[in-house]
Structure 1
Amino acid sequence: MRIERLGQDKIRIFLTFDDLSERGIQKEDMWQEIPKVHDLFTEMMDQAYNEVGFDATGPLAVEVFALPAQGMVVIVTRGKYDHHHFGVGSPYEDELPEEVYEMEVTLEQSDTILYSFDDFEVLIEAAHVLRHMIDEAGRLYKYNGKWVLRLEPDELDEGRIPALIAVLAEFGEATSVTPAMLDEYGDVIMADRAIDVICSHFKRQD
């Protein structure tokens, strides 16, 4: 579990599939109101307070993004009640949660594959290994000082995706950034055919 502070009232939490399986949670469980998911959220908020000083009291907006190869990204924003639903005179007035965490959860799923690389030389090595698996795919970004390779599944041979991810995991690191954040905050270095472009312009180290 990795926690980053995005602002005074917002944090991002990256959960790997190992984080989920260690707690007996399947990816599909995140869509359900079950005790072990609630326990996981409580654990995340405790860790967020201890690591980055994020106080999770009050209403929270929770966005969960499921990524195919990386795990899950959970973005938590501290906010205010929507008094149309909760508040004086509301039909829900007596149903206000008594717990510390009051959540409004949004769930999204993305099939985009995203891996980051600290060193461009390592990315060159990975590209040469991947070249025989990928014909004309890949977009390369620079984001937070790292090189981020983005692959869309419709550009790939579905049968090769597990092997492709295995190579990416060997050379790079699954990243918690979402495609939307990359588009907004990242710098596009190679807009398309990134693997082919890298291999054409950069040789492998001997």
Structure 2
Amino acid sequence: MRVERLSQDKIRFFLSMDDLMERGIEKEDIWRDIPKVHELFNDMMEQAYQELDFEISGPVAVEVFALPAQGMVVVVTRGRLPSPNELDELDGDDMYELEVTLEESDQVIFQFHDFEHLVQAGHRVQPLIGSVGRVYAYRGQYFLVLDTDMENQTLQKGIAVLSEFGEASTVTEHVLKEYGKTIWAQEATGGITRYFS
């Protein structure tokens, strides 16, 4: 489980399939009000406090992005902090109110910190998944977008390779198209292997 700060009041967790399996949690469980999901959320908040000094009380918005074959990304945004008087009135169970939304994606999007990592990933993944995908440049990083309409085992192998060079991203292709620059509009992995040997 990795956590990073996105802004003063917003953090992002990446939960791998292994993180979920270790706790006996299925993707569908995130919606259910069950003890192991509460335990997971408490562990996440503890890690956020330890690593980022990010403390939560009061209203919290939780966005869950289910990533095919990768796990999920959880974005936690805290609302205003309660006043000391309001804090006294809260009991332990009311320390935070959750508002959870879930989005399932039919795409896998990986981000790479530099172009060389993208090129290396393209060379390694192209023999496995063929000439597919689209590449965008956005905020100084490179994004490879793959549709998940390929055989699941092929997709799993591709994700495993891409994870060595980049990381799963929650930026949507809509944002990349709108605000980023299109590098390859189609067959990106084929283009990478053709032009960068």
Give the TM-score normalised by the residue count of structure 2.
Answer: 0.79
Task: Provide closer, same or farther for how the CA distance between residues 36 and 136 of structure 1 changes in structure 2, counting only shifts above 3 A.
Answer: same
Q: Aligned partners of 2:69 and 2:140: how far apart in 1?
A: 22
Question: Does residue 173 of the first structure (1) align with residue 166 of the second (2)?
Answer: yes
Q: Aligned partners of 1:190 and 1:37: how far apart in 2?
A: 40
- Bigger fraction of residues in helix: 2
Q: Which runs of 5+ in 1 are unaligned?
A: 81-95
Q: Which runs of 5+ in 2 are unaligned?
A: 81-90
Task: Provide closer, same or farther for how the CA distance between residues 2 and 188 of structure 1 changes in structure 2, counting only shifts above 3 A.
Answer: farther
Instruction: Spell out, residue by residue over 1:109-149, the C-alpha distance to the aligned partner (whole angstroms, 9 max, x if none).
Output: 11211223345334323323433444552122335544321
Give the TM-score normalised by the residue count of structure 1.
Answer: 0.76
Task: Provide closer, same or farther for how the CA distance between residues 76 and 159 of structure 1 changes in structure 2, counting only shifts above 3 A.
Answer: closer
Bigger Cα displacement from structure 2, 56-65 vs 145-154: 145-154
User: Secondary structure of 1:73's partner?
Assistant: strand
Question: Does residue 5 of the first structure (1) align with residue 14 of the second (2)?
Answer: no
- Deviation, 1:31, is 1.8
CA contact (8 A) 2:131 2:191 kept: no
Question: Does residue 162 of the first structure (1) align with residue 119 of the second (2)?
Answer: no
Higher Rg of the two aligned structures? 1
Question: Does residue 198 of the first structure (1) align with residue 184 of the second (2)?
Answer: no
Q: Corresponding residue for 1:189?
A: 183
CA contact (8 A) 1:70 1:174 kept: no
- Deviation, 1:194, is 1.3
CA RMSD in angstroms comes to 2.8
Q: Aligned partners of 1:113 and 1:200: how far apart in 2?
A: 23
CA contact (8 A) 1:115 1:172 kept: no
Task: Provide closer, same or farther for how the CA distance between residues 70 and 187 of structure 1 changes in structure 2, counting only shifts above 3 A.
Answer: farther
* Identity within the alignment, %: 51
